[in-house]
Amino acid sequence: MKVKVLQNILDANTQMAQKNQRLLDNHRILALNIMASPGAGKTSLILKTIARLKDKTRIAVIEGDIASTIDADRISDQGVAVVQINTGGGCHLDANMVENALNNLKLNEIDLLFIENVGNLVCPAAFRLGEHKRVVLLSVPEGDDKPIKYPMMFTESEAVVINKTDLMPLLDFDLDAFKRKVIGLNPDVEIFQLSAKTGQGLDPWLSWLEAELKSLRA
Ligand code: MG
Ligand code: ZN
């Protein structure tokens, strides 16, 4: 019984996600679902990307948090359109929440939309939002074992970003072992390694975004 209820919820969510994606496609917006544990650097990566791309790309952000507008305020300070979703305790975003947020954005004025999910490596992987690409961010202090502990997050994503590489010399993070585990789960995934703080390694990530934007427009 319980399983059936959950399946119905997921099916309804998938239908709403497809509706969101059609809306985004009609406006030629590339949407990314950014998923990670709390503190991995989702907002920092988005802010750094905004700083580098905002002169040539119109960016907007949907910020998912259990409470507060701290991250949305940081984004808004950069002059970028942002809509806050407070889930009131909910540990992931769903397609309904994103539909409401899309209704509060000027879609004709957006090329690239970041959807920052609630910090959590578990259930965000089960709920499609209408995004074109799913990006899981993993920071070096979290350790290289996360693909084994949270495999769904890595099998469901198109890109993996290893953040805080500036801390690599201080920690026992085995980069090759991490990549082997990720590729074992998801052979086609893109892997980026960077420091959102120092900006080191950011260029391949930006090039990937620009290539995806271009292919949406082709
Ligand atoms: Mg954040
Ligand atoms: Zn959840």
Q: What is the mean pLDDT of residues 148-156?
A: 97
pLDDT at 1: 54
Residue 122 per-residue DSSP state: S
Distance of alpha carbon 190 from alpha carbon 205, whole angstroms: 9
Distance of alpha carbon 157 from alpha carbon 149, whole angstroms: 15
Structure tokens at 85: 């979703």
Q: What is the mean pLDDT of residues 20-42?
A: 98
Structure tokens at 170: 């201080």
Taking alpha carbons only, the member of 17, 84, 74 closest to residue 48 is 74
The DSSP bridge partners found for residue 33 are: 115, 134
Which residue is it, tokens 């939002």? Answer: 129
Name the pLDDT band for 4 (thresholds 50, 70, 90): confident
| Ligand 1 centroid – CA 42 distance (Å) | 5
Tell whether the torsion through CA atoms of 166, 167, 172 and 175 is positive or negative.
negative
Q: How many CB atoms lie within 10 A of CB 121?
A: 21
| Ligand 2 centroid – CA 127 distance (Å) | 9
Which residues, 6 or more positions from 132, have their beta carbon under 8 angstroms from its beta carbon?
Answer: 21, 24, 30, 31, 32, 212, 216
Name the pLDDT band for 30 (thresholds 50, 70, 90): very high
Split into its structural domains, the chain has a count of: 1
| Ligand 1 centroid – CA 142 distance (Å) | 16
For the cut 80, the answer to whether the pLDDT of residue 142 exceeds it is yes
Distance of alpha carbon 168 from alpha carbon 195, whole angstroms: 10
| Ligand 2 centroid – CA 104 distance (Å) | 23
Q: Are 6 and 127 in contact (CB under 8 A)?
A: no
For the cut 90, the answer to whether the pLDDT of residue 33 exceeds it is yes
pLDDT at 52: 97
Query: Over the stretch 183-209, which tens digit does the pLDDT of each residue have?
Result: 999 999 999 999 999 999 999 999 999
List the domain range (segments joined by +) for residue 171: 2-217
- Tell me the backbone φ, ψ of residue 4, rounded to 5 degrees: -65, -40
pTM of the model: 0.96
Which ligand ends up closest to the CA of 121?
A: 2
| Ligand 2 centroid – CA 15 distance (Å) | 18
What's the CATH code of the domain at 9? 3.40.50.300
- Tell me the backbone φ, ψ of residue 47, rounded to 5 degrees: -60, -45
What percent of the chain is predicted at pLDDT more than 70?
100
Compute the mean pLDDT over every residue in the chain, rounded to the nearest whole number: 96
Distance of alpha carbon 173 from alpha carbon 179, whole angstroms: 11
The DSSP bridge partners found for residue 59 are: 112
| Ligand 2 centroid – CA 215 distance (Å) | 32
Name the pLDDT band for 216 (thresholds 50, 70, 90): confident
Taking alpha carbons only, the member of 71, 61, 170, 63 closest to residue 110 is 61
Which ligand ends up closest to the CA of 124?
A: 2
Residue 13 per-residue DSSP state: H
Query: Over the stretch 66-112, which tens digit does the pLDDT of each residue have?
Result: 999 999 999 999 999 999 999 999 999 999 999 999 999 999 999 99
Q: Are 187 and 156 in contact (CB under 8 A)?
A: no
